[in-house]
Amino acid sequence: NLPEQVDVYEVGPRDGLQNELRTLPTRDKARLIEALIAAGEKRIEVTSFVSPKWIPQLADAEELLRLVGRREGVTFSALVPNLKGLTRAKEAGLEEAAVFISASEAHSKKNINKTIAEAVAEARQTTEAALKAGLRVRGYLSTVWGCPYEGDVPVSRVVEISRALLDGGIYQLSLGDTIGVGTPRQTDTLLNALLEYVPVEKLALHLHDTRGTALANALVGLQLGVKTFDASIGGLGGCPYAPGAAGNLATEDLVYMLHGMGVKTGIQLDKLVEAGMVAQELIGRKLAGKFLQAALGE
């Protein structure tokens, strides 16, 4: 019993580009975003309003939003870590903010310089202020399947933090396999534990494909009724504060599987390949996405 239609939430311009050593010029980022829109993508995380000292690759957030403007039927979102980020995001006209915290203490410290408790409080404060300002707010929970510093992360802790974030008013919680260590039975256990408290519509999966298990984990989620999947064009991505984090599940790989199973996405796969070619040209190397390489090899 699969969903008829799912939402693909594109994170390539944010999760992908934050992890590239070279900072792309703003106009190149805008060109990539245009290619994603041309493929029919409707939800795109375009940048981050984080500290430019921490993520210099995305220091041009304001300028990028000015360049891409607003698009009928397309929602641009961006990471917003705190009130300072929210002030910048509001001034730039952002419609959707994404707050983000971690399920492991060590990753939380490395990524945002806060304990989990401090991070939950700050995310809820940012969420409340963003909602008041009329933005939609999404949330991320990282290291749900495992932490690069601490290893296993207890499911009970994931459930507890997820509920605290959702109680703060986010419309959706995206569960991050930050370093791509998850396997399908673990995904099944985790989702079933969460589904005791959280309606499935509120959950999204954000899977990195470090060990090749992202699509298998996505399939488990799909079978349990999850209807939003994060993915990045060509499989770009990673977290600079999580060593070993590789790219996200490639958008084309996800869309290929979904369409093959009769699940609609509203995205045109051939145009997605064109967007993947743009990404490769701008980044200057072959990307990891399997469908992309197969399509280009034909």
Alpha carbon distance 133, 83 (integer Å): 12
| The binder of ligand HMG chosen from 8, 55, 129, 173 (CB under 6 A) | 55
Alpha carbon distance 81, 15 (integer Å): 14
Shorter beta-carbon distance to ligand HMG: residue 229 or 241: 241
* Helix H or strand E segment including 147: none
Shorter beta-carbon distance to ligand HMG: residue 49 or 76: 49
Partner touching 247 among ligand HMG, Mg ion, none, CB below 5 to 8 Å by kind = none
Alpha carbon distance 225, 244 (integer Å): 30
Give the CA angle between residues 170, 139, 65 to the nearest 5°.
100
Q: Which member of 239, 249, 254, 273 is catalytic?
A: 239
Tell me if 137 contacts ligand HMG by CB under 6 A: no
For residue 236, the cross-strand partners are none
Shorter beta-carbon distance to ligand HMG: residue 114 or 227: 114
For residue 256, the cross-strand partners are none
Tell me if 10 contacts Mg ion by CB under 5 A: no
Alpha carbon distance 215, 10 (integer Å): 15
Q: Which stretch binds Mg ion (CB under 5 A): 14-22, 51-59, 97-105, 217-225?
A: 14-22
Tell me if 209 contacts Mg ion by CB under 5 A: no
What sign does the CA torsion over 286, 15, 259, 181 have?
Answer: positive
Q: Which two tokens stand for residue 189?
A: 């256990």
Tell me if 209 contacts ligand HMG by CB under 6 A: no
Q: Which stretch binds ligand HMG (CB under 6 A): 81-89, 159-167, 193-201, 270-278?
A: 81-89
Tell me if 148 contacts ligand HMG by CB under 6 A: no
Tell me if 32 contacts ligand HMG by CB under 6 A: no
Which amino acid belongs to residue 260? G
| The binder of Mg ion chosen from 8, 14, 15, 172 (CB under 5 A) | 15
Distances (CA, A) of 214 to 37, 165, 206, 235: 24, 24, 9, 11
Alpha carbon distance 250, 161 (integer Å): 27
Q: Are 122 and 100 in contact (CB under 8 A)?
A: no
Shorter beta-carbon distance to ligand HMG: residue 85 or 289: 85
SS3 helix, strand, coil % of the chain, rounded to 5? 45, 20, 35
Tell me if 43 contacts ligand HMG by CB under 6 A: no
Longest Cα–Cα distance of the chain, Å, equals 51
Which residue has the closest beta carbon to ligand HMG? Answer: 176
Tell me if 142 contacts ligand HMG by CB under 6 A: yes
| The binder of ligand HMG chosen from 76, 241, 256, 291 (CB under 6 A) | 241
Binding mask 84-123 for ligand HMG (x = CB under 6 A): xx--x-----------x----------xxx----------
**Binding interface with ligand HMG (CB under 6 A):** 15, 18, 48-51, 54-55, 79, 81-82, 84-85, 88, 100, 111-113, 140, 142, 176, 178, 206, 208, 239, 241
Active-site residue set: 239
